[in-house]
Amino acid sequence: MDSTEQSLFPLYEFAVNHAGVGIHAVNRSGRTVIYNEKMKLIEGLELDEVGDRTILELFNFEQEESTLLKVLQSGKEQLNVKQTYWNRKGYEITTVNDTYPVFLHGELIGAVEIARDVTALEKFVLHPLRKDSVPVTFNQIVAVSDEMKTVISTAKKAIHAKLPLLLIGETGTGKDLIAESVHNELSPARPYYSFDCHRSDPAMFDRLSEDLNTLEAFTLFCERIDLLSLPLQQKLYRVLKDMEQDGRLFIASIGDDPVELIAEGSLMKELYYFFASFTIRIPPLRKRKEDIMPFINSYLTRRKKRFGTTLEGVSKEVEHLFLSYDWPGNIRELEFLLDEISSMATIQNSITYEMLPLHFRLKVDEMTNTRIQAGDFIVQPQKDLLPLDQYLREAEEYYLQKAMKMHNDNITKTAQALGMSRQNLQYRLRKMKGEK
Ligand SMILES: Nc1ncnc2c1ncn2[C@@H]1O[C@H](COP(=O)(O)OP(=O)(O)OP(=O)(O)O)[C@@H](O)[C@H]1O
C-alpha cells in the first residue's frame, strides 16, 4: 500500500465513525474488525466490549440468525433484511440491514453489515391503539370468529374470578390487548404495570418488588415470561409469591404451548402454576381467518377518522390474497402491512394488488406458485428435470408440510417423528416461510 492511500485512513475512519448508519465488519473468521459509533448506539455496546469477540459471542443469536455469518458462509449479499433481536444488555432492537461479502483478488476476506435502526419506528407503528392514547377495552378487540369470541368470554370470566391469568399465543395475536382490557374492565382506576420480560435485568426485579409492595391494589402484566432465563424466572416467582394478596391481579403471557416449554426447559413449572388458575389460548390468525376482513375494516375506519384518509376497503383480488396468506406474524403483521400501504396511499378508496409492498407481493407470489404436490417429485420422461438443489428443497418442504399436518401442527411431536430437534425443525419451517 502506498503512502497516499495510508494517509487517507484517518479520513475513512472519520467518515465511518460519523456515518448515520451502523457499520459492522467482520473478518473471514467472524471476528469484529470495524464497529462504528452509530452501531454502538444501536446495539447498546461499548467499543471495548466488542473487542476481539465473534458475533455469536456478542449477541444472543442462534448461528442461523446472523446475517453477517450467513453472508460469510454463502459469499452472497443480503439486502433489506429486517432483524429483531436482543442485544447483550437485553434491549430489543429492530434494524433493516444490507450485508455484503468483501472480496480481495477474488478471495473472500470478510463481510460488512450496514444497519438502519428502525426500533423507534416499529414501536410507534406496532401499537396504534396506544398511539391514540385510548385506554384499551374489549370493545376495541376484533373478535368475529368463534375462537376469538370464546377468548373474550373466558377473559371476562377471569375478571370475575379475580385469579391470575395466563395468556398463551404466538407473537402478535393480541395478548397484550387482552391483558389491558381485563385490567380496564376490572378497575381502570388502579395502577396497571406492564413488565416486559424481554428487557429486564436482575436489578429490575428488585425495583419491581420495591415499587409494587407499597401499593394495596394493582394489575401486573408480565409479558412473555418464557423469554426470561430460568434463574430470572425463579427470581420473578419469589417476587410474585411475596406480593400475593387480595386486590392485586397478576397476568402473564407466553408464546408457545406451556407443556412444550416446560418439557424443553424454557419455562419454570412453578411459575407456570402461579399464573395458570385461568389459561386462555389465543389462536393464530391463520386458524381464524374470519377476523381478517373485520380487522381491516376497523383499521381503515380508525385511520380515516384520525387522519382523514380515503381508503375504505380492499379489492376482491387483495381480499383473496389476504385470506389465503398464513400471517406468521398474526394481526401485528397485518396491521404493519396496512400501516405501510395507507402511508403511501393518496386518493384511492380501495387497496389494490398494485398498492401492496413488494416484499409482501413476493411472499404471496411464492406461496401461490409453490403449492407443491406429491406428483411433482415423480420423474417422468416428458417432464424437464429440476436442478438437484431445487428438487431437494421442494421435497423437504413437501415432506415437512405433510409431517406437520399429520401431527396437527405440533412442533414437538413432528420433530420427534422426524428425528430432529425442535429448534432445527422450527428453523427449517421459518426458512420455508421465507423468514430470515
Ligand atoms: N383482535 C385484535 N383486534 C384489534 N387489534 C389487535 C387484535 N389482535 C392484535 N391486535 C393488534 O396487533 C398488535 C399486536 O398485539 P399485541 O401486542 O397485543 O400482541 P402480543 O400477542 O402481545 O404479541 P407479543 O407476544 O409479540 O408481545 C397490536 O398493535 C394490536 O393493536
User: How confident is the model over 85-99, as pLDDT tens digits?
Assistant: 555 555 556 777 889
Which mutation among 138, 176, 254 tests ligand 1's pocket best, with the greatest number of atoms within 8 A of CB? 176
- Greatest mean pLDDT among 293-302, 347-356, 395-404, 417-426: 293-302
Mean pLDDT on 244-248: 86
Percent of the chain at pLDDT exceeding 70: 82
pLDDT tens readout for residues 296-351: 999 999 988 888 888 899 999 999 999 999 898 899 999 999 988 988 877 888 99
Cell of 338: 396496512
Q: What is the pLDDT of residue 145?
A: 96
> pLDDT tens digits for 149-174?
999 999 998 888 888 999 999 989 99
**Residue to probe by mutation, ligand 1, list 85, 335, 336, 339, most atoms within 8 Å of CB:** 335
Of 360, 279, 371, 353, the closest CA to residue 327 belongs to: 360
Rounded to two decimals, the pTM is 0.62
Point out the ligand 1 atom lying closest to the alpha carbon of residue 291.
1
Atom of ligand 1 nearest to the CA of 142: 3
Q: At what angle do helices 388-406 and 411-418 cross, to 10 degrees?
A: 130
Q: How far apart are the first and last CA of the chain?
A: 39
Under the banding of pLDDT at 50, 70 and 90, the label for residue 294 is very high
Q: Which residues line ligand 1 (CB under 6 A)?
A: 126-129, 141-143, 169, 171-177, 223-224, 253, 255, 295, 331-332, 335
CA of 176 to the centre of ligand 1 (A): 6
Placement of cell 381502570 in the chain: 188
The pLDDT > 90 percentage for the chain reads 31
Task: Return the higher-pLDDT residue of 261 and 359.
Answer: 261
ipTM > 0.90 for the complex: yes
For residue 129, pLDDT over 50 is answered with no
Choosing from 85, 331, 336, 338 the residue with most ligand 1 atoms within 8 A of its CB, the one to mutate for a pocket test is: 331
Domains of the chain: 7-119 (3.30.450.20), 127-283 (3.40.50.300), 292-369 (1.10.8.60), 374-432 (1.10.10)
Average pLDDT over every residue of 44-50: 61
**pLDDT: which is higher, 238 or 125:** 238
23-32, 159-168, 192-201, 279-288: least confidently modelled range: 192-201
**Whether pLDDT at 371 is above 80:** no
Give the distance (Å) from ligand 1 centre to CA of residue 335. 9
Most ligand 1 atoms within 8 A of CB, residue of 94, 303, 332 to mutate: 332
CB of 329 closer than 8 Å to CB of 172: yes
Among 202, 208, 231, which Cα is nearest to 220's?
Answer: 208
Q: Where are the beta strands (DSSP E) in 321-419?
A: 350-351
Atom of ligand 1 nearest to the CA of 126: 29
Residues 6 or more apart in contact with residue 411 via CB below 8 angstroms: 260, 404, 422, 425, 426, 429
Cα–Cα dist 271/291, whole Å? 32
Mean pLDDT of 53-75: 66
Q: Contact 269/262 with Cβ under 8 angstroms? A: yes
Which residue is closest in CA terms to ligand 1's atom 26?
A: 171
Residue 56: pLDDT over 60: no
Residue whose CA is at the smallest distance from ligand 1 atom 25: 171
Q: How would residue 388 be classed by pLDDT, with cut points 50, 70 and 90?
A: confident
The pLDDT value recorded for residue 290 is: 96
Per the listing, cell 426485579 goes with: 205
What would the pLDDT profile of 196-245 be if each residue is shown by its tens digit? 777 666 767 777 777 788 888 888 999 999 988 888 899 899 989 988 88
Buried residues in 221-237 as b, exposed as e (16+ CB within 10 A) = bbbbbbbbeeebbebbb
pLDDT band with cut points at 50, 70 and 90 for residue 127: very low
Length in residues, the chain: 436
Q: What is the mean pLDDT of the chain?
A: 82
CA distances from 326 to 69, 127, 168, 335, 398 (A): 29, 22, 19, 14, 16
Q: How far, in Å, is the centroid of ligand 1 from the Cα of 191?
A: 21
Phi–psi pair at 287, nearest 5 degrees: -100, 5
Instruction: Please state, in angstroms and rounded to a whole number, the distance separating the CA atoms of residues 159 and 251.
Output: 11
Rounded to 5 degrees, what are φ and ψ at 195?
-105, 110
pLDDT value at residue 38: 82
- 186 strand-pairing partners: none
- Give me the helix-helix angle, 292-307 and 316-324, nearest 10°: 120
Q: For ligand 1, what atom is nearest to the CA of residue 173?
A: 21
- Supply φ then ψ for residue 81, to 5 degrees: -95, 120
Q: How far apart are alpha carbons 75 and 59 in whole angstroms?
A: 22
In this predicted structure, the answer to whether residue 122 has a pLDDT above a threshold of 60 is no
